Amino acid sequence: MSEALSFDAFAALTPINGLRPENQRDLYRKLAPRTVKAGDYLFRAGDPNTECLYLVDGEIALEDEAGKQIKTIAADSDAAKHRIAHQTPRSVSARCLDAVTVIGIDNSLLDVLLTWDQTGSFEVTELTGGPSPTESDDWMTRLLQLPTFQMIPPGNLQTLFMRLETVNFKANDVVVKQGDVGDYFYVIDSGHCMVTRESTTHPKPIKLAELGPGASFGEEALIADTSRNATVTMMSDGALLRLSKEDFRSLLHRSMTRQISQDEADRLVAEESAVIIDVRLPSEFKLKSIPGARNLPLYLLRMKLSALSAELPYIVYCDSGRRSSVAAFIMTQKGFNVQVLDSQALSDTTA
C-alpha cells in the first residue's frame, strides 16, 4: 500500500473500523490505490456493485440517472469515510471533478470478514489452507469473486476455508485419473492443468481443456457419486486447494442447489420467465419430455454454455435429479441463475 492513505486513516473508515486490527492490516497490505482523471466516471447508475470504493484524494460529484448533480464529496470530508454510493446496483453515477485517487475492496471479502469478526471468529492469516496473505493475488479473494462461492452463506464459508487443504504438485503429476473414485473437489491456486479423456474408440487421450488459476474441477463425480470421467494432469508446477467429498456436499453443493416444484416451474415457463432444459440424452428426450423444454445433454453443457443468455433464469431436469444437479452446479459456476426441478415432480410429469 502506498502512502496515499495511512493505516490509521484506513482503519477509521466505515465499516473497516468494525474489523479486528489483524484483519485491518491484512486488507491494508492488499490495497492498490488507483487514479482516475477529471471528467471520468468511477461508475454509472445501474452498474453492478462488486467492490466498495473509498475516496482518498480529490473530489467527486454524485449524479442521478438524468445526469443531475445530487451532491459532491471531497476526500477530506466526513462523507469520504464511508463507501461511495454503496447500493446494489449503483443508484447514482460518480463523476470525478478533478483527478481523484480511490481504493477498492471486494464486497464479498469484506462481508465475510465482517461476519467472522462479529461472530468472534479468526483472522485472515489463520486460514492455513492458502498461501501467505502478503501475496498480491490472494487466493481467498479470488475464490470469493467466483459465482460458486458468492452463493455460500458466510457461516459456511468460514468452515469451508478452514477445511480447504493446499496440495503442491509438480509438472506432469496426475491429479485425478479417469475411472478412479471421486474423493476431492479442486480449485487451482497456481499453475495450469490439462484435462484429457479416453474412450473405447479413442484409446489415446483426447485433450478437452486447459485450466488456470481460479478454475475448479472434480465436482461431477462427487455430485453424481460416480467415477472420474476425465484425467487432469499438471502442465506446470502449481498448488491446488482441495475439499473432501463430505465437506463439498455439505458446505458447497447444498448451498448452490436450489429446488423448484413442478407447479412453480410451470408458472415461470408459462410467463416466459424461465427456460427449462432437459439434460438427458437426445434419445431419452425424444422418448418423453416436458412440453416446452430444450434438450441440452449434460456432456455438451460446458461447450454450449456460451450460447445461453446469462440474463435468463433456467430450470434443469433429468429423470433422477442426479444429472440435473451436476448441470446446475456447472451453470452456477459460470454465473447463471439455475434451479433444479424437484425429482418427485419430475417423475409425476414424465412417467
The label of the residue with cell 492488499 reads 30
Q: How far apart are CA 247 and CA 328, in angstroms?
A: 18
Q: Residue 154's pLDDT is what?
A: 67
pTM listed for this prediction: 0.56
DSSP class of residue 12 equals: T
The C-alpha cell at 42 is 468511477
* CA-to-CA dists, residue 185 to 155, 246, 285, angstroms: 20, 10, 30
* More confident site: 131 or 246: 246
**φ, ψ dihedrals at 39, nearest 5°:** 95, -20
pLDDT of 145 > 90? The answer is: no
Q: Which of 189, 184, 192, 331 is nearest to 258 (CA)?
A: 331
pLDDT at 18: 79
The lowest-confidence range among 69-73, 137-141, 240-244, 280-284 is: 137-141
Going by C-alpha positions, the residue among 167, 233, 240, 221 that lies closest to residue 195 is 233
Closest CA to 304 of 341, 279, 269, 276: 279
pLDDT digit string, tens, across residues 71-113: 999 999 999 999 999 888 899 999 999 999 999 998 877 876 7
Question: How many Cα atoms occupy the beta-carbon half-sphere of 297 within 13 Å?
Answer: 8
Where exactly are the structural domains of the chain? 7-106, 127-253, 257-350
Say which CATH topology domain 127-253 has. Answer: Jelly Rolls (2.60.120)
* Residue 334: CB atoms within 10 Å: 16
Looking at residue 139, its pLDDT comes to 67
* Topology alike, domains 7-106 and 127-253: yes
Exposed/middle/buried for 189, CB within 10 Å: 0-12, 13-18, 19+? buried
Superfamily of domain 7-106: Jelly Rolls (2.60.120.10)
Query: 3-state class of 239 per DSSP?
Result: strand
With 60 as the cut, is the pLDDT of residue 119 above it?
no
At 224, the pLDDT band (50, 70, 90 cuts) reads confident
Specify the CATH number of the domain 257-350: 3.40.250.10
Radius of gyration of the chain (CA): 23
C-alpha dist (Å) from residue 133 to 49, 138, 178, 215, 267: 25, 6, 34, 20, 48
Q: What is the dihedral of CA 49, 54, 59, 64, to 10 degrees?
A: 20
